[in-house]
């Protein structure tokens, strides 16, 4: 096929294009980061495919990105010699949004520019960001290994459609040429482009090249200007950030790298960068985000860590590298031991991966412990003090999944939990705080689960605890009931749901009350028997209780049984 073909964008793309050009307008320069990152991805893909087929390198084994511009033509070009695109791939990848969840994404858009821009970033609509500064984009490409006659040209004005045609192209890889809008001509400047590369793409692990400039005197020594030469120079650091020594990396560089891999525009709460040596060698650079992504609750999409083997990119979202309950963590693991052709299946079984996973889990827990320590650290700034609460508000419920998922670290996890309680509304009570405030003679940590905090707080089951001044933890996360069922005790003190059985207040129960209840049970026996008979299909037992103060009656679950809240949840889930 050599004639031109005009095709329409998928409806979502057209919509997205409109959005991208309008809502990302205040942060135009990111288009360069996106296009360079695509070029770098394309080189990673080539390197990966070439592991099995060295011929793909053709005659150009060193991978690179070239950024150039033409002032007269008002164009800016980002070219790579990576994997390239076949005609069909150009149609598929540049005309549709292949990723799942697009509709969900569109539904989340709020119309608020700033929030939408962040979402767009998270979703990675990278290529289309070119249209922020260009009113036309020309892509020319040839796939590695394909014949020169099988090249493709893709052109679009970013409205409803695009054109594709077959071209002959000697060089392998892709060049993306932006025909700049009149209000974006300031990007035709070496100085400006270099500054943007330094800001966003310094750590890209392959060289980004630009033409050198040279001062040229004007006629008769009057005036002069910088002119482009034919010589190219590398304008980025071109080394993988995580492979550099810690002391050579600034906080800004760590943060910029985070943005790059997470598509999150907010800075991370914390990071940890280590070279682990021993029987398994790897580098870990792990980040705790400050904000939950929109798909946090999707346990299937459960991973944020990229795997590299000796700086060669292997895969995104490598779920074997951290347990599911730490899916909010972003970062990079670079292993010196794994084979380059490692697959997801192989990862699951590898002993090296198991060691990496254990080590990384511990690392994340200690990062969280450090954040939690800051809460009570007098010398910490207000911002630092608030970090753990911020983390917990976003990810606390996910962390709790770990109680049932990671028994080896349960003890450490418990200490990281925070709750609201009958004495403290804010969700800031740790189990240790609770223990320190326990009443003399109190033998258990009491908690109640309900659908909302308000419901938990107003439960009649709390009456006796209130009366006696005993603190009760209030829980209303969906996961609480399940998570707490895996936690029998904290630091030697049993956990006790107040919604279960005849809560034994131990020595806190005063004798007179117990006696009064026993007497009442005698006196009311005929009434109780009648009630039991009447409720025999609905209730296991009917008892006189000393737990109520103001309410006449309440429902409790039997000791070994499910609590009413869990029963309700299972019922909702259709079980
Ligand atoms: P993402 O990079 O998140 O996949 P983009 O919108 O940035 O999304 O790019 C869409 C797709 O277009 C890429 O997944 C890739 O298949 C293709 N693509 C973009 N740029 C290039 C390039 N320089 N070389 C090869 N393929 C590319
Ligand atoms: Mg991209």
Distance 256 CA to ligand 2 centre (A): 16
* Side-chain-side CA neighbours of residue 134 (13 Å): 27
Nearest CA to ligand 1 atom 9: 127
Q: Which of 41, 43, 49, 87 to mutate to test the pocket of ligand 1 (most atoms within 8 A of CB)?
A: 41
Ligand 1 neighbour 130 (Cβ under 6 A): no
pLDDT at res. 537: 75
| Token reading at 311 | 């700086």
Comparing 428 with 24, the larger pLDDT belongs to 428
Ligand 1 neighbour 125 (Cβ under 6 A): yes
Ligand 1 neighbour 42 (Cβ under 6 A): yes
pLDDT, one tens digit per residue, over 92-136 is: 888 776 554 555 666 666 666 666 656 655 555 678 889 989 999
Comparing 391 with 105, the larger pLDDT belongs to 391
The whole model's pTM is what? 0.67
pLDDT, one tens digit per residue, over 157-194 is: 988 899 999 999 999 999 999 999 999 999 999 999 99
The CB-based long-range contact list for 163-166 (8 Å cut-off, 24+ gap) reads: 163/4, 163/5, 163/6, 163/7, 164/4, 164/5, 164/7, 164/87, 164/90, 164/91, 165/2, 165/3, 165/4, 165/5, 166/1, 166/2, 166/87
Distance CA 165, CA 169 (A): 12
Ligand 1 neighbour 82 (Cβ under 6 A): yes
Q: Which of 26-30, 290-294, 419-423, 429-433 has the lowest mean pLDDT?
A: 26-30
Ligand showing the shortest atom-to-Cα distance for residue 91: 1
């Amino acid at each position: 096929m050599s004639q031109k073909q005009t095709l329409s964008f998928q409806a979502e793309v057209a919509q997205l294009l409109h959005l991208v050009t309008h809502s990302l307008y205040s942060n135009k320069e990111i288009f360069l980061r996106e296009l360079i990152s695509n070029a770098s991805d394309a080189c990673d893909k080539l390197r990966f495919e070439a592991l099995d087929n060295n011929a793909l390198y053709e005659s150009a084994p060193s991978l690179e990105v070239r950024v150039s511009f033409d002032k007269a033509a008002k164009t800016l070009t980002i070219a790579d010699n990576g994997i390239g695109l076949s005609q069909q791939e150009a149609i598929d990848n540049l005309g549709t949004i292949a990723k799942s969840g697009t509709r969900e994404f569109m539904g989340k858009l709020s119309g608020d520019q700033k929030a939408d821009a962040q979402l767009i970033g998270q979703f990675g609509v990278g290529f289309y960001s070119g249209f922020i500064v260009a009113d036309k984009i020309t892509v020319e490409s040839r796939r590695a290994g394909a014949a020169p006659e099988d090249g493709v040209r893709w052109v679009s004005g970013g409205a409803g459609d695009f054109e594709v045609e077959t071209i002959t192209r000697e060089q392998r890889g892709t060049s993306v040429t932006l025909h700049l809008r009149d209000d974006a001509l300031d990007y035709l400047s070496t100085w400006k482009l270099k500054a943007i590369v330094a800001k966003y793409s310094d750590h890209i692990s392959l060289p980004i090249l630009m033409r050198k400039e040279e001062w040229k005197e004007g006629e008769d020594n009057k005036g002069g200007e910088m002119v482009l030469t034919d010589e190219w120079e590398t304008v980025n650091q071109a080394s993988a950030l995580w492979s550099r020594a810690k002391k050579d990396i600034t906080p800004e560089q760590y943060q910029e790298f985070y943005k790059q891999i997470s598509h999150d525009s907010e800075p991370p709460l914390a990071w940890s960068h280590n070279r682990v040596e021993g029987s398994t060698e790897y580098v870990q650079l792990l980040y705790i985000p400050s904000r939950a992504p929109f798909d946090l609750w999707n346990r299937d999409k459960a991973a944020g860590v990229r795997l590299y083997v000796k700086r060669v990119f292997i895969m995104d979202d490598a779920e074997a590298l951290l347990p599911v309950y730490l899916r909010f963590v972003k970062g990079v693991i670079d292993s010196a031991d794994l084979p380059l052709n490692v697959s997801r299946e192989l990862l699951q079984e590898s002993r090296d991966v198991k060691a990496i996973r254990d080590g990384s889990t511990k690392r994340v827990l200690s990062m969280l412990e450090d954040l939690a320590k800051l809460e009570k650290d007098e010398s910490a700034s207000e911002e630092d003090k608030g970090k753990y609460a911020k983390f917990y508000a976003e990810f606390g419920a996910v962390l709790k999944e770990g109680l049932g998922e990671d028994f080896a670290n349960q003890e450490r996890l418990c200490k990281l939990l925070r709750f609201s309680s009958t004495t403290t509304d804010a969700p800031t009570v740790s189990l240790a705080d609770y223990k320190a405030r326990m009443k003399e003679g109190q033998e258990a940590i009491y908690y109640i689960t309900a659908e909302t905090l308000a419901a938990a707080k107003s439960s009649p089951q709390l009456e006796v605890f209130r009366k006696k001044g005993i603190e009760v933890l209030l829980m209303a996360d969906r996961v609480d009931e399940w998570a707490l069922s895996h936690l029998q005790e904290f630091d030697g003190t049993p956990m006790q749901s107040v919604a279960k059985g005849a809560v034994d207040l131990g020595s806190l129960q005063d004798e007179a009350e117990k006696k009064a209840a026993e007497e009442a049970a005698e006196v009311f026996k005929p009434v109780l028997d009648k009630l039991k008979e009447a409720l025999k299909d609905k209730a296991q037992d009917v008892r006189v209780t000393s737990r109520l103060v103001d309410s006449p009656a309440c429902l409790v679950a039997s000791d070994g049984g499910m609590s009413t809240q869990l029963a309700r949840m299972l019922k909702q889930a259709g079980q």
